[in-house]
Amino acid sequence: MKRNIKKTLLYAFSIFLFLVIILGVHIYLVYRPAPSAYTRVMARIDIKQKITRSDADKITAWMVHQKGVDHVLVNPETSIVVFTFFPLKTTGNEIVSDFKTNFHLKAERFIPSAEKLKSSCPVAKSSYTYRVYKFITQII
């Protein structure tokens, strides 16, 4: 009798563990960032020197005509360029490299640290599903 109970509990635990693993893989696959034709990425270029309004207009005109770039905002007061692009058509690093080559400005792409990324979305911190996803991605 005890042997049957142990066997049943072992099978039940094995099935439960198997289902938890399948759920984890499913959550990982659903939340995995897979770019599509509609995916847009936002990027930022920090220019390390002062620019004028006419420079900002030239930069905007040039950026809008780059392959894959969707929208551009240039702030001449802070010397920051923010743009969105389609990752299937181009990359942020490619755009920044072409930008440096074309304008000969001291500029670099701003990439936030892991800490800044963690603190940037208040919804993600409180989402149970997001926490499960982050736990699974840290394991894998």
Domains of the chain: 2-35+119-139 (no CATH), 41-115 (3.30.70.100)
Amino acid present at 80: I
Quote the pTM value. 0.62
Strands of the 41-47 sheet, one edge to the other: 69-75, 80-85, 41-47, 107-110
pLDDT at res. 125: 59
Q: Would you give the end-to-end CA distance of the chain in angstroms?
A: 40
Residue 112 has pLDDT above 70, yes or no: yes
Is the pLDDT confidence value at 82 over 90?
yes
pLDDT at 53: 94
Place 54 in a pLDDT band, splitting at 50, 70 and 90: very high
